Amino acid sequence: MMHHYDEPVYLISIVSKMLDIHPQTLRQYERENLICPSRSDGRIRLYSQRDVDKIKLILRLTRELGVNIAGVDIILRLRESVDSMEKEIAELRHEVQRANNARSVSPDKALVTKRSTYEMIIFEE
């Protein structure tokens, strides 16, 4: 059965086995606000595939690159910020493309208006 990327389906015990980490480590990541698993009605933590991938990134940063938890937090925040900006840029590009497609005057022809100012000087004798 295929699950949606953001669908919370994994119990903490499953995630800890999948990633070979102690469940207490996952709880610590949650206390540090690095991850935010969903909760069932019975308050059981449920992780999505997105959560698992984020935990993999955290583990890579800490284990392979030696980044501490505070550094991981900064990296994750910057990553979210960059992702948000990239999404906004894509939306703006789409909007510009749509505006260009709706243009009634071809791009090589443009209506240009110029303002001229004339001053009148009167000489009195």
48 alpha-carbon distance from chain centroid: 17
17 closest CA partner among 30, 26, 28, 9: 26
Model confidence pLDDT, tens digit, residues 53-94: 999 999 999 999 999 999 999 999 999 999 999 999 999 999
Separation between Cα atoms, residue 3 and residue 53, nearest integer Å: 14
pLDDT over 90 at 99, yes or no:
no
The predicted structure's pLDDT at residue 102: 81
Produce one character per residue of 1-15: b if its CB has 16 or more CB atoms within 10 Å, e if not.
eeeeeeebebbbeeb
Sequence-distant (≥ 6) Cβ neighbours of residue 61 within 8 angstroms:
67, 71, 72, 75
Give yes or no for a contact between 31 and 70, defined as CB atoms under 8 angstroms apart.
no
CATH 1.10.1660.10 at 10-100, yes or no: yes
Sign of the torsion formed by the C-alpha atoms of 50, 53, 54 and 55 = positive
Which of these ranges, 7-21, 69-83, 111-125, has the smallest mean pLDDT?
Answer: 111-125
DSSP β-bridge partners for residue 45: 39
Distance CA(88)–CA(109), nearest Å, equals 30
